[in-house]
């Protein structure tokens, strides 16, 4: 399991989307693709959205590639969030547990 951090920048729409809406959109797109998205954590802020994507992938490069593929699919579906720009997509480095 590889964790990927994704950040989107957007012009705030008249009605800000709910975190559940973005999570649902990504999960639906994953069902259309290869089903490698295990879980999504989302946080919305003014002008940006951050997510941690829990992806089944063999390496970091394929995890990043799949995150971009997911967002490209969202952009083609015509959803209002499809105008958002992905500003960052990078693997998360988890610190080892302290002993």
- Cβ-proximal residues to 14 (8 Å cutoff; 6+ apart), any chain: none
Q: Which two tokens stand for residue 34?
A: 């290869």
The answer to the question of residue 99 being in a domain is no
For 19-96, where are the alpha helices, taking DSSP H only? 19-32, 60-76
Name the domain count of the chain.
1
The answer to the question of residue 97 being in a domain is no
The answer to the question of residue 98 being in a domain is no
Q: Which residue has the higher pLDDT, 7 or 79?
A: 7
User: The CATH number of the domain where 16 resides is what?
Assistant: 3.30.70.1130
The answer to the question of residue 38 being in a domain is yes
Is the separation of the CB atoms in 69 and 20 below 8 Å?
no
The answer to the question of residue 77 being in a domain is yes
The answer to the question of residue 7 being in a domain is yes
The answer to the question of residue 23 being in a domain is yes
The model's pTM is 0.82
How many distinct helices (H) and strands (E) make up the chain? 2, 4
The answer to the question of residue 49 being in a domain is yes
Q: Within 10 A of 37 (CB to CB), how many other CB atoms are there?
A: 20
pLDDT digit string (tens) for 12-58? 665 667 889 889 989 999 999 888 999 999 988 878 888 999 999 98
**The domain containing residue 24 runs over which residues?**
2-91
């Amino acid at each position: 399991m590889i964790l990927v951090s994704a950040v989107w920048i957007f012009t705030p729409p008249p009605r800000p989307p709910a975190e559940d809406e973005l999570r649902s959109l990504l999960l639906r797109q994953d069902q259309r693709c290869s089903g490698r998205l295990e879980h999504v954590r989302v946080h919305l802020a003014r002008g940006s959205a951050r997510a941690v994507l829990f992806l089944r992938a063999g390496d970091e490069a394929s995890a990043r590639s799949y995150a971009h593929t997911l967002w490209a699919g969202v952009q083609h579906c015509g959803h209002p969030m499809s105008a958002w720009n992905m500003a960052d997509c990078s693997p998360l480095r988890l610190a080892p547990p302290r002993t």
